[in-house]
Structure 1
């Protein structure tokens, strides 16, 4: 047996030199001396000089350590670790770590011929944790590396014996790292994992619970008295049992967040195939210039061909410019729709938004272009409109092309731009693109600036109070409209349209005012009162914001707001117990409800459809009155709230419900020819309403191009079993 008598401390001032002298004289029982190492590390961190007195807290800890050394001679260590009647030999290594230190110990397990098991401590080693703070899993890995290096150092001692090696750790994360390739881990972890894997090729790493891990005493330090009563010298108890009763180490308690944090960050070099033609064209600001540049390039390329027999000189021809345009479009499609083109070349269906358009490939002037299949194959339209060329919206060339169309067509609006584009191309999300082009056009912004607006005010009480229809109403005028007489040679005379709007129900009443006289206006007011009842309040525009500000209504404005006219109207309304109100000057938003009614009645959007159609049909007073009554019925049939898609809901509420108790409906009418002057005059009224159907044919039919469902076509092949459905 071996024992050790420690060096007696020198009386006097306790310094770093004194502590290092006593600690270095100790024979290395690892669990004991690790405490001295931790104290020395603290002195180095405090930058204490060699002969300077140590702080009080360290002096107290050192004194406790020295007092415990008095029990060190009682520690007995066996010199011999083997056995004369040895049947089998195993080497077991244990490692553990704490925030302050880490260490390891190696044991020999011997089974003799009788079957007795003896376990002896062979060697041990400890180290303090580095001053640079590391995570506990990394310190556990440092302990495993220390164990691997210690095993590699003593392995040659047992070169004359046959033995098995088992290395134990209580860290599941370290075992997980040791099963990975070092190249997939971070530099710190990967270097240590590689070192451990190289030094312990023949060893078996296993997991041991912390409570029975003898290396735990090394990581936290121990006194000599604790060593004598611990398993440090004789190993854990399970080593004395059969191998089948050892800890199996099967546990899935691995913090993958820590494991993934130490994975090596992958860096890839991505090679992008740039389209130099499109990149060069991004330097040009206009569509015309980039097309002409490509056209000159194609002409130069054609001249370089050996089989070129026709030399073209002079200015660029339209065919050359069109071919250059197709060349640019082909490059754009190859950049943005390469995956879809490859699918179509393999006779497969495309994916994504193009699937609804049923695209196909067609060769045009040596360029294989992607075109829209659509549903207009049987339409009487040009081929370029039935199968337009597909283009993306997020492309510099496309934006310059749309801007070129916008300027060329006198700064056309978004809807007109979409119609012009679809004569030749189909741009995905064309509406958003055209709105963006128009919004960014400086010329359009200057002529149609966006004015600052205040927050919309509260609705007046007249709009929110349930009352009889037309109890409180507003009046506005539009026109003039020419009225013809059925007398040869008689010139037409101007008439105007008075529109009364109910504040509560938004019901509309339209009257024809035959001339600019007080009597004519009062007559229209009397007709309205006779059919709709006496209104207590009537509201109208002021002179500064009346519809008459429109140039065609200058005469109406001058008449209605003469002092004599206003006095006559006010006196008449007062006699009828009607309060006639004028909204504030320069505040047309006070009369938004009747302005909207005028807009709906006349169809004012970009043009005045109703006024144009009425002017072209030469209506008499009776015919004009009939047309306006039908328009009034249409306006009073518009729903007041959005329609519901549930068939069990009630029908939509309309102003007609408040007037007659049900919706105002008109019977279907037959179609008439475009030349309304050669048919019955009563059909002219129907022709006025059919103007709106022409707008439907131009604005709506293009939206039917996409297939929103049933866009997959199936083909039957030989040997396929199918079921015939005659239903």
Structure 2
């Protein structure tokens, strides 16, 4: 100090004894600079201001904080001022009671700002000795305010890191209220503006700039490359993407985000202990010095109102060739021919000649197609198939060369006619045959259009055999390569032909009952039934002949199929009982009788006391020695006693 002339020293330093006296307070950047401790302090005006809107505005403007050290505290005062300005009252009118209490608490906390001491240097490590310098910017938003704060992170040669406060800024949230994602996006824009200011104003070489946000919705907007936004979000995302890269953005939890203090407002006595001035602890931690790069996706895009509706567009590759792949959608030749004829008609409607007529542009043709139009469409179909299957052979013939001998068409001497179709050659040009019969069109045997041709002419001959179908194809002027196999395959798969020529199905018979397989003597197990009637002459009268009806009852052996036929005069129970007595007299007793539920059989059983469970009459049982059962229709399809009634052999 003695080296400088006295007139060059400041007035408060001319009589200063550096060794004994403490240096006075100086001013720097609008703040107080304590030279003894090399710290910055705030100068707060202690004069009482009136409790009016004018006094509130004067008190808030008296706090000069260009670097944003006290931004988390001053934002509360600005919020009170904005609430007061929304009310229609005089500037010198007293404050309302509820606002007066808030303002008094803020003014009381303002005096605590004098105790805040901020180190003038960002870091204790000289910047010239550091190995790496980074700028870390944090942003956050709430319904009250949006904020962003920047820190300088330096790392020395030993790997130790320090973090120093650079700049902080807050803005009141816009009115009317907007959504939280939009506020967070505005905070991200504020962080980008701080990054641009730091890059332009700092005269040190910074290695990297990292930006942090605690909103994954905003990070999804920044990383998005597939969806479009509405104008508000779109403009701000474009502003962010124009100045920063996606790799610079990182996620930070809300509880360690220092910008969160400025969005919620804290008292002045808590500023020194908060992370607003010192920065988050994880920036100094060695384990978190290298942040992992993470890609963020949109959060619930289906319900996000900021996203435009996703529009799906289909790209169509146009081909100058029709291609036979589309022909497989048709199962009959006639619809295919009509579809191609309609397509050719529409294509012709766009020509200059057609525009002068009644048919032009796209339209629905209601008239029937002429035979010439259908023939032209059929030629187009055959040309497409031949160009696809026999492209190499057609190319050789167009150059004037012969078809290679290893080709399957070499023995047919093929040539191209005036319509461009590939036909069979030979020595029949001077014959009286038509051009279609003498020089038929060559078609591949395994193509879908060939199957449609074979099915078309097979239906024309009313589903006749292979020879007639092949003859009809040859008469129509088609030479199908491997036609025998193709025609046989189609006839084999034809539903109508399989129904007409298929063999009758045989049902698997059930097992025979035990009485059909017994080795007992004949007529041990008997099935019986009645058939008829016949008209017979019973007697002669004076006027002519008297006719009567007669029936026959047939007894069939269940095991040997031997039969016994007896004549009965009526269908009553007594006639049946007499026939049964005659049968036992001739054939002997039986073990079992089977019959249906005819009225004469049921009446006879009732009269004789016989049921399906056995004989209740002992005299009849001793005489008959039998069991009676109704005759079921077996699943093997044969009801004995009915199928044998046509036999007339002698009992």
Give the shorter-chain TM-score range. Answer: 0.3 to 0.5
TM-score, normalised to structure 2, is: 0.43
Name the larger-Rg structure.
2
TM-score, normalised to structure 1, is: 0.39
Q: Going by fraction, where is helix more abundant, 1 or 2?
A: 1
